[in-house]
Every structure is written in C-alpha cells, then in structure tokens.
C-alpha cells in the first residue's frame, strides 16, 4: 500500500507540474522548466497554439482575423498551410502534433520513447559510472548500467505516454466516447487533451524501484505544491517560511540521530558524514 501511495503521489504531482509547464510556466523554477522543455522537445509554436486556444484567442470553424495559429509551422514542415488554420481545418491533424514523424500516433509514441530514452541515458549513465568509480568493481558498474537503463526507460515512457494520451484524447479515442455535441474539438484542444496527457504520464514511474519511486515523488511534490502558491510573499508572512524550514530541519536532524537510514540520497550521505553516523 505505501508503494502504491508513492506512485499515486507522483502521478498527481507530475500532472500538476506538466499542466503548469504548459499553461503557467512562470510558476515553475526557470531551470526546472527549461529541463522539461529539453526533454519534451516540442516546437514552441505548438505550445503557444495550445495556450492561445485556452485563452480563447481562436475557435474552430470561426474567422481568426489576421492572426496566424500554426500556418507558419506547417510551411516549415512542408505541410499544407490550411492544416494550421483552425477556421478551415477541424481539428488540426495529429500529424502536426507529431512534428514531422508522420501521421501514425503509435509510431510517434515509439519515436518519442526512443528519443527520450536516449536523452536520459546519455545524461544519466556517465553520472552513474562516475559515482561508482570511487570504489570500482564489476558489480558496481553493472548496477550503474542497470539503474541508468531503468531510469531512462521511465523517462522515455513518461514522455511517450504523455504524447500518446494527447492523441488518444483529441482524435483517436475521445471523439468515439464523447459525441462532438458534448465535447467539441475546441474543448479537447483548449485543455482536455493536455489534461489527459498530464493525468496519464506519471504512472510510468511504476518502472522504477519502490525506493526510487519514493525519492522521485519527494523531489517533484514540492515543485508541484509551489505552482499552487504565490511565488513571492509579503515580508509580514516571512515567518511562515521560516517556521516550515525550522520544522523540516528539526525533523531531518532528529531522524539522522535516531534512524539515519530514513534520510536517503545525497543529503542523507552528507549528514551521516557530518554527524558520524556513516
């Protein structure tokens, strides 16, 4: 049950973070938002089109004035310009979302998995090997490769599930479950398709070990909570932050003294060295 709770917490917090990245990116730390952008590898014009749809700047089947939505992007990718014009094309084809990978949503999902897997592996594996080099052994290096492959699979699934869920919601499955009268293409593209991707992608964390799932959940949860709170506080409320920090520090230091194994990760290793609990 606790393991399922960790997975559920990550799924909810990851959904919150991804929603914020799409629609309120200013709520995320700049470096964190930039890292998500590097992993997502999505044309910024597509994101802006989704944001403008949510703002109500354009509507399917209605004149949009002089504003371009996705027409320039279609020209750059060699598609018919009309594909990016929501006044003439309802809905915008999934091939535009696939960004040059072709019309098949399943092929696009596999392509996304492969790209994200490679990105994660090239980033994580050298770090894992470097950490094991302090006390080199064949078993240690094998463990590093295994852990890196597992984490890369998790990230690859996270990205591919997100994109595939968007496609399923807006064109493949959503319109078959809900009629166009109840849920219009505009409703899908103004938030529901992104919400579908946000809700589904976090469950990919099942690939990770129970210990790693907990660590990832604890890493993402504060960033998700921060999107729901103001980025700046009046100085008169500073005591709240100081109180939270003091309580958190007291809990961590108490755990280090009573049960050092409860404090894991880099912080746990440093504190165990400082307090002689290694």
DSSP notation for the chain: -HHHHHHHHHHHHHHHHHHHHHH-GGGS-HHHHHHHHHHH---HHHHHHHHHHHHTS--TTS--TT--SSHHHHHHHT--GGGG-TTTSSS--HHHHHTSS-S-HHHHHHHHHHHHHHHHHHHHHHHHHHHHTTS--HHHHHHHHHHHHHHHHHHHHHHHHHHHHHHIIIIISHHHHS-TTTS-HHHIIIIIHHHHHHHHHGGGGGGS-HHHHHHHHHHHHHHHHHHTS-SS--GGGHHHHHHHHHHHHHHHHHHHHH-GGGS-HHHHHHHHHHTT--
pLDDT band at 74 (very low <50, low <70, confident <90, very high): very high
Which is more confident, 254 or 46?
46
Axis-axis angle for helices 105-132, 138-167 (nearest 10)? 150
- Whether the per-residue pLDDT at 236 is higher than 90: the answer is no
Q: Average per-residue pLDDT in the chain?
A: 89
Are 60 and 184 a contacting pair, CB within 8 Å? yes
Convert the pLDDT of each residue in 43-56 to its tens digit.
999 999 999 999 99
Tokens representing 64 are 């949009």
Q: Write down the pLDDT at residue 265.
A: 67
pLDDT band at 66 (very low <50, low <70, confident <90, very high): low
Q: Write down the pLDDT at residue 228.
A: 87
Q: Write down the pLDDT at residue 109.
A: 96
pLDDT band at 211 (very low <50, low <70, confident <90, very high): confident
State mean pLDDT over 31-53. Answer: 93
Instruction: Tell me the whole-structure pTM to 2 decimals.
Output: 0.86
- Whether the per-residue pLDDT at 21 is higher than 80: the answer is yes
State mean pLDDT over 125-147. Answer: 84
- Whether the per-residue pLDDT at 171 is higher than 90: the answer is yes
Q: Write down the pLDDT at residue 141.
A: 85
Which is more confident, 6 or 188?
188
CB atoms within 10 A of CB 58: 21
- Whether the per-residue pLDDT at 226 is higher than 80: the answer is yes
pLDDT above 90 as % of the chain = 60
Are 201 and 14 a contacting pair, CB within 8 Å? yes
- Whether the per-residue pLDDT at 198 is higher than 90: the answer is yes
Provide the CB-side half-sphere exposure for 83 (13 A, CA).
18
Question: What is the C-alpha separation between 37 and 34, in angstroms, rounded?
Answer: 5
Q: Write down the pLDDT at residue 266.
A: 66
């Amino acid at each position: 049950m606790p393991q399922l709770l960790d997975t559920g917490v990550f799924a909810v917090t990851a959904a919150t973070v991804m929603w914020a990245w799409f629609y309120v990116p200013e709520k995320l730390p700049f470096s964190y938002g930039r890292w998500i952008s590097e992993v997502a590898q999505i044309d910024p014009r597509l994101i802006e089109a989704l944001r403008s749809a949510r703002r109500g700047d354009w509507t399917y089947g209605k004149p949009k004035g002089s504003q371009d939505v996705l027409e320039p992007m279609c020209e750059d990718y060699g598609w018919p310009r009309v594909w990016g014009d929501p006044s003439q094309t309802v809905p915008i084809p999934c091939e535009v979302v696939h960004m040059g990978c072709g019309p098949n949503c399943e092929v696009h999902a596999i392509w996304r998995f492969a790209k994200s897997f490679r990105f994660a592996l090239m980033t994580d594996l050298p770090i894992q090997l470097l950490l094991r080099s302090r006390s080199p052994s064949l078993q240690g290096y094998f463990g590093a490769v295994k852990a890196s492959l597992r984490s890369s699979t998790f990230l690859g699934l996270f990205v591919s599930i997100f994109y595939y869920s968007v496609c399923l919601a807006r064109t493949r499955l959503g319109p078959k479950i809900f009629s166009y009268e109840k849920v219009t293409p505009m409703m899908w593209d103004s938030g529901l398709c992104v919400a579908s991707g946000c809700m589904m992608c976090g469950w990919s964390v099942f690939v990770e070990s129970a210990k790693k799932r907990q660590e990832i959940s604890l890493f993402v949860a504060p960033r998700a909570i921060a999107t729901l709170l103001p980025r700046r506080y009046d100085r008169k409320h500073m005591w709240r932050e100081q109180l939270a920090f003091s309580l958190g520090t007291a809990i961590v230091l108490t755990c280090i003294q009573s049960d050092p194994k409860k404090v894991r990760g880099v912080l746990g290793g440093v504190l165990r060295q400082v307090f002689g609990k290694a």
